[in-house]
């Protein structure tokens, strides 16, 4: 069983029988190839013998075929095998993520409907799109996190984030950035970085794009000067030496790019901006159901199959149990709301 270098305090995040199940995983045989140990799986299933009572619906608030959908389908497949029942992935799209997240909030709290909640749950209500937030959900497990990266063309004059920010300060309005749509997560990452360095939000021109891929094409073609998407999304350009990474806005270095320093290392700044994904359900779920799912998801996060998929997809693995994930959603909501308010994006 392989483990990523991402920090995952699995035993501290999973209580009671769940923790024992993980211990069992390390000292007994019977694991399926790339998956969890049979004894550990049974330990999870023993937490609540009556769960599940039928097929589970796993809601995805984004379209089929995207990165979030791929993560959800792999989790659903592995969860189905461990629970011994069907886990059906259902894409409920619309409203910039509102429709799918609302479906999670509105579900019965019996654990038969859960969802892959994404970072947008802490942004949508600040934008005036909905009233719901992470406080309306029961956090179960965080599965992923990717810090915003600072990527420039290979021949750019800057070699560090500090050099870039100094140039922006001395030449306001000359640098053009992209990476997402107006008000999207990577736009927010850029604005937060500027504000954290006492720079006005219009010090950099932002050109909306349909995502990281077209923005990176513009970057290497000379149409823009920088992007602030996750480094994993820039991997092809970085590996082919058509672009270079100046820094990452995560709380720690990206294991896939160990030489790229965080802003904290370069600037002494505590500012960070990341995307994350995790499993959650409606409010007031039964504690034993949450514990059982948390246990299973901890095993999935440790599995070779999951880690290989995430690495190949350019996505980071970061596990947190229910309590820590609920805290993350609450704190991330407040942090993003503050940046959006300062940047004039809140409604």
> What's the CA gap between 106 and 240, in Å, rounded?
46
The pair of structure tokens assigned to 283 is: 């409010």
pLDDT in tens, 257-302: 999 999 999 999 989 999 999 999 999 999 999 999 999 999 999 9
pLDDT in tens, 128-155: 999 999 999 999 999 999 999 999 999 9
* Contact assessment for residue 151 and residue 235, using Cβ atoms and an 8 Å cutoff: no
Structural domains in the chain, CATH included, are 10-145+275-343 (3.40.190.150), 149-267 (3.40.190.10)
Residues 202-252 pLDDT 10s: 999 999 988 888 999 999 999 999 999 999 889 899 999 999 999 999 988
Would you state the structure tokens that stand for residue 236, as one six-digit string? 């092809």
Confidence of residue 8 (pLDDT cuts 50, 70, 90): very low
pTM: 0.84
Asked if 270 and 262 touch (Cβ cutoff 8 Å), the reply is no
Sequential DSSP letters for 253-322:
--TTSTTSPBHHHHH------EEEEEEEEETT--HHHHHHHHHHHHHHHH-HHHHHHHHHTT--EEEE-H
Q: How are the residues of the chain apportioned to helix, strand and coil, as percentages rounded to the nearest 5? A: 45, 20, 35
How far apart CA 109 and CA 281 sit, in angstroms, is 7
Query: Do 274 and 262 meet the contact criterion of CB atoms below 8 Å apart?
Result: no
Mutual angle of helices 38-45 and 16-25, in 10-degree steps: 170
The pLDDT of residue 14: 43
């Amino acid at each position: 069983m392989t483990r990523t270098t991402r920090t995952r305090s699995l035993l501290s995040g999973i209580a009671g029988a769940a923790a024992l199940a993980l211990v069992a995983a390390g000292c007994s045989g019977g694991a399926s190839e790339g998956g969890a140990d049979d004894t550990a799986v049974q330990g999870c299933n023993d937490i609540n013998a009556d769960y599940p009572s039928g097929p589970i619906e796993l809601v995805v608030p984004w379209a089929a075929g995207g990165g979030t959908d791929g993560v959800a389908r792999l989790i659903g497949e592995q969860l189905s095998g461990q629970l011994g029942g069907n886990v059906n992935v259902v894409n409920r799209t619309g409203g910039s993520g509102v429709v799918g997240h609302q479906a999670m909030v509105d579900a019965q709290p019996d654990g038969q409907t859960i969802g892959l909640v994404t970072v947008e749950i802490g942004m949508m209500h600040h934008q005036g799109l909905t009233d719901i937030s992470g406080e309306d959900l029961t956090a179960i497990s965080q599965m992923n996190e990717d810090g915003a990266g600072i990527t420039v063309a290979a021949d750019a004059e800057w070699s560090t984030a500090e050099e870039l920010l100094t140039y922006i300060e001395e030449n306001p309005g000359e640098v053009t950035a992209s990476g997402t749509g107006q008000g999207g997560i990577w736009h927010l990452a850029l604005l937060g970085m500027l504000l954290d360095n006492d720079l006005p939000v219009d010090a950099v021109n932002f050109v909306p794009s349909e995502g990281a891929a077209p923005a990176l094409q513009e970057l290497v073609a000379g149409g823009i000067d920088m992007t602030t998407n996750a480094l994993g999304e820039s991997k092809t350009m970085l590996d082919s030496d058509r672009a270079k990474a100046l820094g990452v806005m995560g709380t720690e270095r990206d294991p896939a790019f160990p030489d790229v320093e965080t802003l904290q290392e370069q600037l002494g700044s505590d500012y960070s901006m990341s995307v994350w994904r995790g499993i959650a359900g409606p409010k007031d779920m039964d504690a034993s159901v949450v514990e059982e799912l948390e246990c299973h998801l901890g095993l999935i996060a440790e599995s070779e199959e999951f880690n290989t998929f995430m690495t190949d997809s350019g996505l980071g693995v970061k596990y947190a149990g229910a309590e820590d994930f609920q805290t993350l959603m609450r704190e991330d909501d407040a942090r993003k709301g503050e940046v959006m308010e300062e940047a004039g994006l809140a409604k």
